[in-house]
Amino acid sequence: MSGKSSREERREQRLQQESEGERQERRKRLLQIGSALVFIAVVAVAVVIVVNSTGGDGGGEVDLEDTSLVEDQLSGIPQQGMALGQPGAKVTLYEYGDLQCPVCKAYSEEVIPNLIDSGVRGGAAKIEFRNFTIIGPESVPAGAAAVAAGMQGRGWDYIELFYRNQGPEASGYVTDEFLTEVAKGAGVPNVAKWNKDRKSSKVISEVEATTKEAQTLGFTGTPSFAVEGPGTSGKESLGTPGSAGEIEAAIEAAS
Amino acid sequence: MSAPAEGTLRAIATFVATFGIGVATYITIADSGGGSPVCVAGGSGCETVADSSYSHLFGANIAVFGIVGYVLLLTVALLRGDGARMAGFAISLGGFGYSVFLTYLELFKIEAICQWCVASAVLMTILFGLNAVRMVGYVGRPA
């Protein structure tokens, strides 16, 4: 009787030991899985951060060029909204442009600096940039970003710096990061406000309105120019003049 | 040193996850109207972060994913057993890793700090700590 009981006790003990062993084994296995998860998480976070810091997601750092060149070119000239020059200048030259347009970039680099030196800096004329978004959908946020910068007196810094750092047409380079870097480079004082303004319906509507206006004036390409002054009857279309000289002559005639 | 009682860990995790749901819900609601969370101590950090391209993932505000994460963590805090212990550890580890990445973005990419995001990162870190202690201390043991 007692022999049977001790056999049962031993059996019970053995089963308990086996069960405890299984539990220990299971615990060991689960802890190993936990360690593997930690390892994977550390590697994943490290990889994502490294990829991000090298710009692999397309939204990395933007190295702007010609920031000081633009600053020098525009220094000392008053700006109001998208207009560059003395507010009381008799003649206004309107430029209808698209920030993504490579021809506009060429004008910005080769024609506009001459006009600034010959007419704008002296106070004879002011140039007003108006968005004419024809390249692609990204032209609208780009134009809106410039208008929002104009609300803080940095519209022309924004336009000129954008052109100097323009990417290939509609290639997707117009990201929030790119626009923000241009705003910072252009010296927009309150970037948070600019960020809010550029997305506002008021600013987007303005970009759409000036595009419609350009179409009403009969323009089909960018940049297109118009001039208005005492010598003109309202806004006179100049189309796309081939040189700074032609525009200077038009300003002279409008004076 | 022995781990705190599992019931205590679960109770704290329940409280912290509930708080996390509140924070993530506030960020989601504040963003849904085109606005941004209001920084309690002033400043425009929250606005800058909310307006950045990093604030959305697959078209949804990342705070929505935060709500899902906290709800899952609340659920596993209420459940017993190894499944809940391992799930709690894995989810909080993912949340903690993502919080580290978001903090990196705030500091080095967006260059602005949003207090609400920091609050969420702190809560997720606490939850990771609680779930890690729960997993290491009790996994493989009877519930």
Report the CATH number that the domain containing residue B123 is assigned in CATH. 1.20.1440.130
Q: Do B96 and A31 touch (CB under 8 A)?
A: no
pLDDT at A58: 42
**Confidence band for A123, pLDDT divided at 50, 70 and 90:** very high
If asked whether residues A14 and A110 sit together in one domain, one would say no
- Beta strand spans in chain A (E): 79-80, 83-84, 91-97, 125-131, 224-228, 236-239
Q: Looking at the DSSP assignment, which residues form a beta bridge with residue A128?
A: A83, A94
If asked whether residues A50 and A86 sit together in one domain, one would say no
Whether the pTM exceeds 0.80: the reply is: no
If asked whether residues A101 and A203 sit together in one domain, one would say yes
Picking from A27, A44, A45, the nearest residue to B139 by CB comes out as A27
Token output for A213: 């206006």
Encode burial over A234-248: b for 16+ CB neighbours within 10 A, e otherwise. Answer: eebebebbeebeebb
Helix (H) or strand (E) holding B56: strand B56-57
Q: Which of A119-128, A228-237, B28-37 has the lowest mean pLDDT?
A: B28-37
- Residue B78 in domain: yes
Domain of A88, CATH number, reads 3.40.30.10
Q: Collect all residues from A whose CB is shorter than 8 A from any CB in B.
A: 23-24, 26-31, 33-34, 37-38, 41-42, 44-45, 48-49, 52-53, 59, 175-177, 191-193, 195-196, 199
CA distance readout (Å), B84 to B13, B66, B123, B135: 12, 19, 19, 9
Quick check: A60 pLDDT over 70?
A: no
- Residue B143 in domain: no
Taking only the tens place, the pLDDT of each residue in B79-105 is 999 999 999 999 999 999 999 999 998
Q: Average per-residue pLDDT in chain B?
A: 89
If asked whether residues A46 and A101 sit together in one domain, one would say no
> Distance between CA atoms of B40 and B28, rounded to whole angstroms?
16
Identity of the amino acid at B142: P
Q: Which of B48, B54, B46, B47 is nearest to B114 (CA)?
A: B46
> Distance between CA atoms of A69 and A9, rounded to whole angstroms?
93
pLDDT at A3: 64
- Residue A2 in domain: yes
C-alpha count within 13 angstroms, C-beta hemisphere, residue A67:
11
Q: How far is A151 from chain B (nearest CA, A)?
A: 18
Taking only the tens place, the pLDDT of each residue in A137-150 is 999 999 999 999 99
Token output for A235: 């806004």
Q: Average per-residue pLDDT in chain A?
A: 90
pLDDT at A57: 42
- Residue A59 in domain: no
Quick check: A111 pLDDT over 60?
A: yes
Identify the residue whose tokens are 């970009």: A207
**Confidence band for B120, pLDDT divided at 50, 70 and 90:** very high
Final residue belonging to a domain, choices A9, A28, A54 = A54
Identify the residue whose tokens are 């800096």: A121
Residue B97 touches partner A, C-beta closer than 8 Å: yes
Token output for A203: 């600013």
If asked whether residues A107 and A20 sit together in one domain, one would say no
Mean pLDDT, residues B27-56 taken together: 75
**Confidence band for A56, pLDDT divided at 50, 70 and 90:** very low
Range of the domain at A168: 67-254
If asked whether residues A106 and A155 sit together in one domain, one would say yes
If asked whether residues A85 and A131 sit together in one domain, one would say yes
Picking from B44, B97, B109, the nearest residue to A52 by CB comes out as B109
If asked whether residues A128 and A151 sit together in one domain, one would say yes
If asked whether residues A232 and A114 sit together in one domain, one would say yes
If asked whether residues A1 and A118 sit together in one domain, one would say no
If asked whether residues A134 and A44 sit together in one domain, one would say no
C-alpha count within 13 angstroms, C-beta hemisphere, residue A97:
27
Count: domains in chain A: 2
Range of the domain at B83: 6-138
Residue in chain B nearest A48 by alpha carbon = B101
Q: Do A59 and B47 touch (CB under 8 A)?
A: no
Residue in chain B nearest A32 by alpha carbon = B136
- Residue B1 in domain: no
- Residue A183 in domain: yes
Q: Do A41 and B97 touch (CB under 8 A)?
A: yes
Disruptive mutation site among B62, B105, B106, B109 for chain A (greatest number of A CBs within 10 Å) = B109
- Residue A61 in domain: no
**Confidence band for B33, pLDDT divided at 50, 70 and 90:** low
Residue B103 touches partner A, C-beta closer than 8 Å: no
Residue in chain A nearest B98 by alpha carbon = A45
Picking from A31, A42, A175, the nearest residue to B136 by CB comes out as A31
> Distance between CA atoms of A217 and A228, rounded to whole angstroms?
13
Q: Do A27 and B140 touch (CB under 8 A)?
A: yes
Residue B47 touches partner A, C-beta closer than 8 Å: yes
Q: Which of A186, A133, A139 is nearest to A158 (CA)?
A: A186
Token output for B78: 């209420």
Disruptive mutation site among B31, B36, B39, B48 for chain A (greatest number of A CBs within 10 Å) = B48
> Distance between CA atoms of B67 and B91, rounded to whole angstroms?
12
Q: Do A41 and B52 touch (CB under 8 A)?
A: no
- Percent share of chain A, pLDDT over 90: 66
If asked whether residues A93 and A38 sit together in one domain, one would say no
Count: domains in chain B: 1
